Amino acid sequence: MRDFLLSLLCLISLPACSTVWQEPENWQPPENPDPEETLNSIHDDVVAKRYQTALAKHVWFFENALQYKPKLYGVRLLSGLREWAELAKIYPPALVKLKEARDKALNQVNEGEDVWPAFQDLTSLNHHLDEDTLTKDTFLLLQQQNPTAARTVYVLAQPALVKAGEYKVCGQYLEPENFYQNILEIRHAELRMSQNPQTSPNIMKFSDKRFTSDVGILVALLVINNRVDEAHTIANQARQEWDNSDFHQVLDSALTGKVPPQWPN
């Protein structure tokens, strides 16, 4: 999935007071809340050590942001969770709430309730909790209990499966041409974005790393699962797409069955 840059943080002025300031026990969103403003304000809460307020905003953002702004789909699962996980390192209740959100997503997956969004939440939450093994275990259980759902969410589970070395499991779900076309669509979208002067100059650096990792892993998994001809087909298409010596070396290595590092890891 795509990462997104957070908006500039807003400065919050604290009123002068002769006594020690006490943060409110229960932060509540304003009428007609703006989830972006809410997320951006959390940094100032953390700096001011208003940890309880910061946590309340994180929970609200995760649970409600998409109702107001569906475009925050990526922010919610990436930078939003990343900042929540950072808060958890200094404020233990934030870790408790993060795990509660994960457990809720896990229950939804196990109950077959909105499996795709629930599994996507589960995957992202586990990643930020550094518990990718649970994603792998959940997928393996889903594979047994609900094979159709497992096939649907495989692309979400693949990073955790690869990390765990479950290459043969991956082999049951590989659709090389479809997967490669999806990788290519992302690559082309990033190339178009790079032409926009307002886009981060690092986008192509990130795109190169992502493309190298995604294609290399696909090729290596095909080789490991005795689908060598398909691996060569994908590798040849990718070489034509990007004529880069470092990238070609990764493909050569992948064609021997060596799985390249995942990016982002």
* Band of residue 197 on the pLDDT scale cut at 50, 70, 90: confident
Q: How far apart are CA 231 and CA 240, in angstroms?
A: 14
What CA–CA distance (Å, rounded) separates 44 from 29? 16
Task: Report the first-to-last Cα separation within the chain, whole angstroms.
Answer: 12
3-state SS, residue 1: coil
Token output for 236? 């040849």
What are the φ and ψ backbone dihedral angles of 169, each rounded to 5 degrees? -65, -45
- As a whole number of angstroms, the distance between CA 261 and CA 162 comes to 10
Q: What is the pLDDT of residue 201?
A: 82
Q: What is the pLDDT of residue 26?
A: 81
Distance separating alpha carbons of residues 236 and 7, to the nearest angstrom: 40
pLDDT (mean) for 168-193: 97
Q: Would you say residue 10 has pLDDT above 80?
A: no
pLDDT per position as a tens digit, 91-143: 999 999 999 999 999 999 999 989 999 999 999 999 999 999 999 999 999 99
User: What pLDDT does 265 receive?
Assistant: 76
For 39-49, letters b (16+ CB in 10 Å) and e give: bbbbbbbbeee
Euclidean distance between CA atoms 193 and 210, whole angstroms: 15
53: pLDDT strictly greater than 90: yes
Q: What is the pTM of this model?
A: 0.86
The residues, any chain, with a CB within 8 Å of residue 32's CB and separated by 6 or more, are none
